[in-house]
Structure 1
Amino acid sequence: MEYSISEKRKIFRNLHLTGCFVLPNPWDAGSAKILEQLGFKALATTSSGYAWSCGKPDGLSSRDEVLAHLRYMVQSTNLPINADFENGFSDTIDGVIENVRMAIETGVAGISIEDSTGNPEKPLRDMEDAVERIRAARIAINENGGDTFLIGRAENFFVGVHDLEDTIVRLKAYSEAGADCLYAPGLKTREQILAVVQAVAPKPVNVLMTSDSKLNHQELADLGVRRISVGGALARTAWDGFIKAATSIIEQGDFNCFSDVISGQELNEKFR
């Protein structure tokens, strides 16, 4: 059954009401299709995974490139897509409203706006500016049907500002400004995660799991987390295998790296 955009958005919103679901991050049509086949209920784009597939570091994709990628990903799967829309791709509030409007038009079911600047000397936006940007995204969503899910991201821990109190203040402000879901990538401990969940309740919380994360799905669910994403970790896993295999070929001169990988026939069957 093929779902309409409005149906996907309803499905996505309902996933946040109870329980805890995993929201993996594909970077192209093939990875999205495999994740859909495996039974995941929704997917999220990854700015890093997409950038690496274009031969760029994370953070250097243009707005138009990301919009085209969002449209491509929405068309690649029957699952709802959450858009990693970075910081909104504009320094002005009017620009954020216009850019979010264009992102909504791609058919995404959710959109994340973060408060990072990309400037190592001042990695986070001032609170007032960050809140206004969430409010601007809310305006764009409300003016275009209101059914797209809005995620407010506090990037403190992700950019090296390990201040839980400020993270919580930001997330609560983003909630009040209209965010439907709150997200602070980089949280590691039970205490940090529980503090965030309790601070923004009853709004749902997204937690990022990476290689140094110690909690499993059930443990996060027990803490009250509603959704779990993995960012660029799946893309990194794929690149790791590719780089190790290619390095083995050029350094060892053999092709043993191909001995245990999935066959072309199996992949063809998965993509039929």
Structure 2
Amino acid sequence: MTRTVAEKRALFRQLHTESCFVLPNPWDVGSARFLETLGFKALATTSSGFAWSRGHSDGALAREQILAHLRELVAATDLPVNADFESGFATDPQGVAQSVRMAIDTGVAGLSIEDSTGDPDRPLYDIEFAVARLRAARAAIDQEGGETLLVGRAENFFQGRPDLDDTIARLKAYSEAGADCLYAPGIRTREQIAAVVAAVAPKPVNLLVGSTSELTLQDIAALGVRRLSVGGALARAAWGGFMRAARALEQGRFDGFADAASGVELNALFR
């Protein structure tokens, strides 16, 4: 099957009305195609994973590089792709709207806009200004047909501001500003997750699970989460294997290759 962009977007929206689904994060074409073979229903990009693959830190790539990456991944898979679109590659609402229109043109089925500033002294935008940025993103999507799903992200826990009340206030404001799905990366406990889900209901919530967790997927679904992503965790896992093997090799050992994928399997996968 070869889905059109419109079909991918419709499927992606439908997934958010059903039970909890896993949205894994590939960082290149090969990882995207492999994840598709496993039966996942949609994919999401990872700004960190892609940046590391280009030899940069997270957040250091230019908008043009991210847009090219989005086009490449959308073309590589028949699955809907949600874009980790960072802070919209602009400060002012007009700039965010321009960036969002460019992202829509790549064919992504959804995109997220963060409220982080990149300034360690003032890591989060004031809520009123963050809302104006989300409204601009919403208007840009609506002007392009409204099919692309908008995710509003409250970055409190990622930016050293683990204030659950402020996080919830931001998510509720982003929901009212037109976000279709809400996301607070960094929340981990049952109590935090349940509070966020209840605060923005009936809109869906994305949960990040980027490390080992006591919660199972069944637990997370029971808390009312509609989608689960892993951010850069798969890329970090790949880097972990590579770094262990490379360090062993530097010491004259080859045991780092013990768990290496088969070249025959990889060639068959990408044939």
Normalising by structure 1, we get a TM-score of 0.98
List aligned pairs for 1:44-193, cutoff 5 A: 44-193=44-193
**Residue in 2 that maps onto 1:5:** 5
| Runs of at least 4 residues off by over 6 Å | none
- For 1:227 and 1:98, how far apart are their aligned partners in 2? 27
Per-residue deviation, 1:158 = 1.1
Could you say what the CA RMSD is over the residues aligned between the two structures, in angstroms?
Answer: 0.8
- For 1:262 and 1:84, how far apart are their aligned partners in 2? 28
- For 2:25 and 2:217, how far apart are their aligned partners in 1? 16
Per-residue deviation, 1:214 = 2.3
- 2:37 aligns to what SS in structure 1? helix
**Residue in 2 that maps onto 1:38:** 38
**Residue in 2 that maps onto 1:200:** 200
- For 2:104 and 2:51, how far apart are their aligned partners in 1? 21
Q: Percent identity?
A: 65
- 1:78 aligns to what SS in structure 2? coil
Q: Which runs of 5+ in 2 are unaligned?
A: none
- 2:18 aligns to what SS in structure 1? coil
- For 1:141 and 1:153, how far apart are their aligned partners in 2? 17
- 2:55 aligns to what SS in structure 1? coil
Check if 1:248 corresponds to 2:254.
no
Corresponding letter in the other structure for 1:163: D
- For 2:212 and 2:261, how far apart are their aligned partners in 1? 27
Corresponding letter in the other structure for 1:179: A
Residues 113-152 of structure 1: CA deviation (Å, up to 9, x unaligned): 0001111111111001100111000001000010000000
Per-residue deviation, 1:271 = 1.2
- For 2:198 and 2:131, how far apart are their aligned partners in 1? 20
Per-residue deviation, 1:216 = 1.3
Corresponding letter in the other structure for 2:148: T
**Residue in 2 that maps onto 1:260:** 259
Normalising by structure 2, we get a TM-score of 0.99
- For 1:153 and 1:136, how far apart are their aligned partners in 2? 15
- For 2:213 and 2:123, how far apart are their aligned partners in 1? 23
Per-residue deviation, 1:25 = 0.2
Corresponding letter in the other structure for 2:69: H
- For 1:33 and 1:156, how far apart are their aligned partners in 2? 33
